[in-house]
Amino acid sequence: MSQLIEVKVPDIGDFDAVPIIDLFVKVGDTIKVDDAICTLESDKATMDVPSSAAGVVKEILVGLGDKVAEGAVLIKVEAAGAAAPAPVAAPAAAGPIEVKVPDIGDFDAVPVIEIFVKPGDTVKVDDALVTLESDKATMDVPSSAAGVVKEVKVKLGDKVSEGAVIVVLEGGAAAVAAPVAAAAPAAAPAAVSAPAAPVVTATPASLPPVPPLGSKVHASPSVRAYARELGADLNKVKATGPNGRILKEDVTAFVKGVLSSPAAAAPAAGASLGGGLDLLPWPKVDFSKFGEIEVQPLSRIKKISGQNLSRNWVMIPAVTYHEDADITDLEAFRVLLNKENEKGGGAKLTMLAFLVKACVKAMQKYPEFNSSLDGDNLVLKKYFNIGFAADTPNGLVVPVIKNADKKSVFEIAQESGDLAKQARDGKLKPADMQGACFTISSLGGIGGTYFAPIVNAPEVAILGVNKSAMKPTWDGKQFVPRLTLPLSLTADHRVIDGALATRFNVYVAQLLADFRRVAL
């Protein structure tokens, strides 16, 4: 019988409420004990949380930006084996101490690619001594003891395995790691609290919605920490190490270069957008010269969505297509159903719910709208998860109605209402905002005629909706008043060309004009 094991944040020392900046697993992934689950980053340390269990990831309970503390459940794994809890630091005798390569999981004979210490250096517990690099992971070996380096036992290129002596220290106290053994589900240590455990930088297994800081660059954890300390974006640092690895010196050179550039005095806001854009520095204006001002920090949601929107705006060749849908009959039907429903006390049917259903039908007819670009491949999805933009006091969020194809309009109305409320109350869970295939941004309750929404990558299209209005429509003989809903579809032109986008728009309008077509 399979069992679900909760993988939790282990003892992370003095750290509390540490944000998740990188997630390496997705539902369905098979992971081993010690595989990195996520990266946590406080203002003082960056730590990868290794899995305490092996098996298949069944559930992910956290998202990027979530703040977690010891004991927080990160994922649920269908068990194939689990590791023992954190090593317990225990003082050992002073005197010469051999610091050895700890248990590095399945890795064996891993080359030493960087050495951070030399004889005479004073090291603290957890200071990185060397970096090891296999074809799958880069890991720093932290010191399990404090003291003065008497001897460095390895040289660059040496291949080492668990137990190999790295350095000999003098005059310090050691921390001893407990052995790793198969046992009941328990959390494995994060590197920061486990002096003898390696910090593993694994390759991200999935594309997170927010680009993590430097997750795709090739650099050891200590170099990453150094870059973060200096505020350097590793994506922009030129690597001179073997296999394109960024060295500490590269980060230093990058920072020096930035500081000595003419734009340094006014950092370019656009520079964070990537893509090699040669943009002017962001205008730096002392607004207080012109009148009274008040400075308010952006909310976390605004900061995250701002980065995403900027990337999507710059990187997607997007075109917006407009169409008018005649919703006279649909609105009459909706009002009628709501009247009937009032007596029964059921959920209020919203226009958004009908739009979700119509979009699903149109995505079934035009599958490119349910796809994502992955390099030269188009990933076509067979599930229909629809995101909808929700305006909250803290900024824009996009909750997702999962498997909308399998839900009735009533169910969608109920669920979107619940999700919108949770969004406004700041109670949405990361999972509620993940996995969308297509997004609807409805401003209809507010007003507007048409707009050009920004595609929510890696989706390829988004439907913007404004306020319906009674308009004179020519029926072949005369002008008749019809309730008209303005649709604005923005699509990624790399996947969807103008003809297809217009077909989709026309079809959505047809479905809304006569909703019986959805049942066909």
Closest to ligand CAO by CB, 112 or 465: 465
Closest to ligand CAO by CB, 46 or 441: 441
- Residues from 208 through 267 that contact ligand CAO (CB under 6 A): none
* Helices and strands (H and E) in the chain: how many: 7, 28
Distance CA 369, CA 379 (A): 11
Q: How far is the CB of 274 from ligand CAO (least distance, A)?
A: 22
Closest to ligand CAO by CB, 318 or 485: 485
Should residue 485 be labelled a site residue for ligand CAO when binding is judged by CB under 6 A? yes
Indicate the burial class of 447 (C-beta count within 10 angstroms; 0-12, 13-18, 19 or more).
exposed
Q: Give the Cβ contact number of residue 146 at 10 Å.
A: 20
Distance CA 503, CA 136 (A): 46
User: Which range in 311-319, 360-368, 379-387, 435-443 contacts ligand CAO by CB under 6 A?
Assistant: 435-443
Q: Give the Cβ contact number of residue 433 at 10 Å.
A: 18
Q: How far is the CB of 337 from ligand CAO (least distance, A)?
A: 13
Tokens of 426: 């700041």
Should residue 44 be labelled a site residue for ligand CAO when binding is judged by CB under 6 A? no
Q: Which of 390, 401, 460, 509 binds ligand CAO (CB under 6 A)?
A: 390
User: Which range in 137-145, 254-262, 386-394, 473-481 contacts ligand CAO by CB under 6 A?
Assistant: 386-394
Q: Which of 5, 110, 112, 389 binds ligand CAO (CB under 6 A)?
A: 389
User: Which range in 77-85, 239-247, 281-289, 382-390 contacts ligand CAO by CB under 6 A?
Assistant: 382-390
Tokens of 321: 């297509």
Q: Which of 391, 394, 471, 500 binds ligand CAO (CB under 6 A)?
A: 391
Tokens of 286: 């002392």
Closest to ligand CAO by CB, 52 or 312: 312
Q: How far is the CB of 388 from ligand CAO (least distance, A)?
A: 6
Q: Which residue has the tokens 């000999």?
A: 168
What SS3 class is residue 212? coil
Closest to ligand CAO by CB, 28 or 445: 445
Concatenating the DSSP letter of every residue in 186-233 gives -PPPPGGG-TTSPEEEPPPSS--SS--TTTTS-B-HHHHHHHHHHT--
Closest to ligand CAO by CB, 404 or 465: 465
Closest to ligand CAO by CB, 424 or 503: 424
Closest to ligand CAO by CB, 25 or 465: 465
Tokens of 306: 């701002």
Residues in the chain, total: 520
Q: How far is the CB of 397 from ligand CAO (least distance, A)?
A: 9
Residues 349, 354, 356, 362, Cα dihedral to 10°: 170
Closest to ligand CAO by CB, 113 or 352: 352
Q: How far is the CB of 399 from ligand CAO (least distance, A)?
A: 8
Closest to ligand CAO by CB, 339 or 516: 339
Residue nearest to ligand CAO (CB): 444
Q: Is 322 a catalytic residue?
A: no
Distance CA 318, CA 272 (A): 20
- Phi and psi, residue 287, nearest 5°: -65, -25
Q: How far is the CB of 481 from ligand CAO (least distance, A)?
A: 15
- Residues from 301 through 360 that contact ligand CAO (CB under 6 A): 350-352
Concatenating the DSSP letter of every residue in 360-389 gives HHHHHHSGGGGEEEETTEEEE-SS--EEE-
Contact of 482 with 469, CB cutoff 8 Å: no
Half-sphere exposure of 316 (CA within 13 A, CB side): 28
Distance CA 467, CA 88 (A): 62
Q: How far is the CB of 392 from ligand CAO (least distance, A)?
A: 7
Q: Which of 24, 388, 438, 507 binds ligand CAO (CB under 6 A)?
A: 388
Strands 73-82 and 4-8: antiparallel
Distance CA 66, CA 28 (A): 21
- Residues from 411 through 430 that contact ligand CAO (CB under 6 A): 420
Distance CA 48, CA 38 (A): 6
Q: How far is the CB of 412 from ligand CAO (least distance, A)?
A: 11
Distance CA 328, CA 201 (A): 57
Helix (H) or strand (E) holding 47: strand 46-50
Binding mask 45-74 for ligand CAO (x = CB under 6 A): ------------------------------
Number of residues engaging ligand CAO in binding (CB under 6 A): 19
Binding mask 439-478 for ligand CAO (x = CB under 6 A): --xxxxx-------x-----------x-xx----------
Tokens of 512: 């809304």
User: Which range in 59-67, 187-195, 213-221, 436-444 contacts ligand CAO by CB under 6 A?
Assistant: 436-444
Give Cβ neighbours of residue 49 (< 8 Å, ≥ 6 apart).
Answer: 7, 9, 10, 36, 37, 38, 39, 40, 74, 188, 190
Q: How far is the CB of 489 from ligand CAO (least distance, A)?
A: 14
Q: How far is the CB of 304 from ligand CAO (least distance, A)?
A: 14
> Which residue among 493, 502, 506, 510 is the active-site one?
493
User: Which range in 139-147, 223-231, 296-304, 389-397 contacts ligand CAO by CB under 6 A?
Assistant: 389-397
Distance CA 8, CA 28 (A): 18
Tokens of 331: 């609105």
Applying CB under 6 A, which residues contact ligand CAO? 350-352, 388-391, 396, 420, 441-445, 453, 465, 467-468, 485
Active-site residues, by number, are: 493
